[in-house]
Amino acid sequence: MNYLILALIPIVLSIGGVSAFAESVPEWVKNTALWYGEGIVSESEFLNMIKFLIENEVIVIDTVMEPVPQVVNAQVVIPNGNFDVTGAGFYSPLNLEISVGTTVTWVNDDSVPHNIQSIDEGGKVIQLFNSPPLNTGDRFEFTFEEKGVFNYYCSFHPWRVGLVTIS
Ligand SMILES: [Cu+2]
């Protein structure tokens, strides 16, 4: 067999994730490859033969997944009633799950001021992202540059704890 065929096949097989099932290659395909190597069949016939192998799933090319568009801006709403310890006014979302490099904007939709204070696992304030008091309608931004789970709370209403998970 012509070495050209041996050189071409890996190129064809290297398109995406590929599985090949050699035992199911029909004889005529093997002959076509041989004849191509010997110059008896044309290149377009050879390529049609490879197309046949792909269409008939002798060569299986995994679907190439398009990358999911990354959310680069994300928002957490401090909802109306968030101040009320007896209410369900949780941060929305309570656990924001995003990728490294995402900028998070907290928006105060409540009727009273709140702040955003990053806290450690023990609930102690740490100096990572710390907003001034946010009046109704005010916003606070922070860009997460590292992976991890980040907790925060409002120092005026410390029962309100939220999470940002960066992967
Ligand atoms: Cu608050």
Residue 137 region by backbone torsions, left for phi larger than 0, else alpha for psi between -120 and 50, else beta: left
From ligand 1's centre to the CA of 141, what distance in Å? 16
**pTM score:** 0.59
Q: Where in the chain are the domains?
A: 3-61, 73-166
From ligand 1's centre to the CA of 58, what distance in Å? 62
DSSP state of 155: T
From ligand 1's centre to the CA of 133, what distance in Å? 9
What would the pLDDT profile of 104-156 be if each residue is shown by its tens digit? 999 999 999 999 999 999 999 999 999 999 999 999 999 999 999 999 999 99
From ligand 1's centre to the CA of 134, what distance in Å? 9
From ligand 1's centre to the CA of 120, what distance in Å? 18
From ligand 1's centre to the CA of 44, what distance in Å? 70
pLDDT-derived band at 3 (thresholds 50, 70, 90) equals low
Containing H/E element for 35? helix 27-37
- Please tell me the class of the 73-166 domain: mainly beta
From ligand 1's centre to the CA of 118, what distance in Å? 13
